[in-house]
Amino acid sequence: LLLLLLGVTVGFALLSTTLKINGTAGIKSSQWDIHWENVQPNQQSTVTTQTPQITENATKVTYEVNLELPGDFYEFTVDAKNDGSINGKITDIKHKVYLSTDLEHTTTLPSYINYTLYYDGTTTPPAPDDILEAGDSQTYRVSIEYDSEATTLPAADTTYVVVDEIT
């Protein structure tokens, strides 16, 4: 009986196999760095102002312009630069307008002000799912114009704050 038990144990040991999976996974370092740079006023603008400023760790562009007469416009370009190692993708674009006297409530620009944000050299606005690949840059053109064909005009001086948030 002892010999039978020993024979079955040795036979089972010869017929059994242990399967293993061994491996390693390496993760390369990544860097996220998308920012604004290279603001250039359009020299054809009919009004002049200080060159727009890049602030808040290069994530915000600020400008101020006064449009006095129908046909006046101000335009500039700015580059979105991806110095990181990860592709960037636009997930959302929010366009907000506030009266400077009421920064709590959004409003719309009046019909006599034309505001556009396009990829430079095109009439294509940025859109969700647009990609900015690592190492690349994309030039945006910002334009604000007092419509020369406006049929209604402002009754009083008014200041608007226009904000585009691209995430």
- Give the pLDDT confidence score for residue 89 in this predicted structure: 97
**What is the share, in percent, of the chain residues with pLDDT greater than 90?**
80
Q: Is the per-residue pLDDT at 10 higher than 70?
A: no
| Local structure of 3: helix, strand or coil | helix
Contacts of 75 (CB under 8 A, 6+ apart): 41, 42, 44, 45, 141, 142, 143, 144
Amino acid at 164: D
Q: Are strands 102-107 and 73-82 parallel, antiparallel or unpaired?
A: unpaired
CA atoms within 13 A on the CB side of 19: 0
What confidence tens digit (pLDDT) does each residue in 101-110 have? 999 999 999 9
What confidence tens digit (pLDDT) does each residue in 27-79 have? 889 999 999 999 999 999 999 888 999 999 999 999 999 999 999 999 999 99
What confidence tens digit (pLDDT) does each residue in 137-165 have? 999 999 999 999 988 888 899 999 999 99
* pTM for the predicted model, two decimal places: 0.82
